């Protein structure tokens, strides 16, 4: 990872290494002026905290942790998420950021005065988010929770207290969580996805539950590949009853 303070290298695909090899790696990290060097996420040496992101979203992610492909891509996605929050008549005050990673959306939303509940399955990412939040200033309240949303999605009472939900799952999508969102009263949902196929499935569930898909914006951040990121904005349609979710095909 190319960070603001130097390269963050995580070596994988090998077995255990001796202390002698670790010593050599530490020396090489100094010669190459690396910010951090890790083995399968286990930090060998951190010469400088490898910071990523800009402005309020600046943070030090866990070694080997999930990041957007490019800094420009992250900034574009964040702008699209924030733009959706600023539209409409109702003020968005309370937001859940689901599959939040190390918190680029959560930190930026809180910097804009919105209370955020950030949820991510990887505890190390939640730790990185919490550190960035505590080290910053001017944030609204962020609560952070390490929780497997595939097995334990947020439920109706948790969702109904929110003004908006942002979800940014891996390629598998957010099927279990989206079913719960579709049954909820959340007025605004923003879905960020790196797989158009699973996004289409999740969007159909939301639409069947009474949401209207307002727009989809593609973001071409995966250079030299056919993959595309996208952001979809959904609003609860007052003309349709909540809770009409799709059944899983037999």
Position 246 pLDDT exceeds 50 = no
pTM confidence score: 0.90
Condensed to tens digits (0 to 9), the pLDDT of residues 47-84 reads 999 999 989 999 999 998 889 999 999 999 999 999 99
Kindly name the residue from 194, 203, 219, 230 that is annotated as catalytic: 194
Q: Contact, 47 vs 30, CB < 8 A?
A: yes
Helix or strand run (H / E) with residue 148: none
List of domains in the chain: 2-46 (no CATH), 65-236 (3.40.50.150)
Condensed to tens digits (0 to 9), the pLDDT of residues 187-222 reads 999 999 999 999 999 999 999 999 999 999 999 999
SS3 assignment, position 164 = strand
194 carries an active-site annotation: yes
Exposure pattern of 158-176 as b/e (b: 16+ CB <10 Å)?
Answer: ebeebbbbbbbbeeebbee
Condensed to tens digits (0 to 9), the pLDDT of residues 116-142 reads 999 999 999 999 999 999 999 899 999
What proportion of the chain, given as a percentage, has pLDDT over 90? Answer: 84
Q: Which of 242, 245, 109, 82 is nearest to 179 (CA)?
A: 245
Helices (H), 32-174: 71-85, 104-111, 123-135, 156-160
Q: Which residues are CB-contacts of 34 (< 8 A; sequence separation ≥ 6)?
A: 6, 7, 8, 9, 28, 45, 47
**pLDDT band at 241, cuts 50/70/90?**
low
């Amino acid at each position: 990872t190319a960070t603001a303070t130097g390269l963050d290298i995580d070596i994988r695909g090998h077995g255990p290494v001796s202390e002698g090899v670790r010593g050599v790696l530490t020396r090489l990290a100094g010669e190459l002026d690396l910010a951090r060097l890790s083995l399968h996420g286990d930090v060998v040496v951190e010469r400088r905290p490898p910071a990523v992101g800009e402005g309020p979203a600046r943070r030090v992610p866990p070694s080997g942790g999930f990041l957007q492909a490019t800094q420009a891509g992250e900034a574009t996605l964040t702008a699209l998420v924030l733009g959706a929050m600023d539209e409409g008549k109702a003020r968005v005050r309370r937001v859940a950021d689901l599959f939040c990673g190390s918190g680029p959306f959560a930190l930026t939303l809180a910097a804009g005065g919105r209370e955020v509940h950030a949820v991510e399955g990887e505890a190390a990412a939640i730790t990185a988010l919490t550190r960035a939040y505590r080290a910053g200033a001017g944030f609204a309240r962020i609560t952070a929770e390490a929780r497997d949303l595939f097995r334990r999605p947020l439920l109706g009472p948790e969702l109904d207290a929110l003004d908006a939900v942002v979800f940014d799952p891996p390629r598998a999508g957010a099927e279990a969580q989206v079913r719960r969102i579709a049954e909820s009263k959340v007025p605004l949902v923003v879905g960020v996805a790196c797989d158009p196929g699973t996004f289409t499935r999740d969007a159909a569930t939301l639409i069947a539950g009474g949401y209207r898909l307002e727009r989809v914006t593609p973001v071409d951040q995966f250079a030299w590949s056919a993959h595309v990121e996208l952001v979809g904005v959904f609003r609860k349609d007052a003309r349709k009853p909540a809770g009409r979710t799709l059944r899983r095909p037999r």
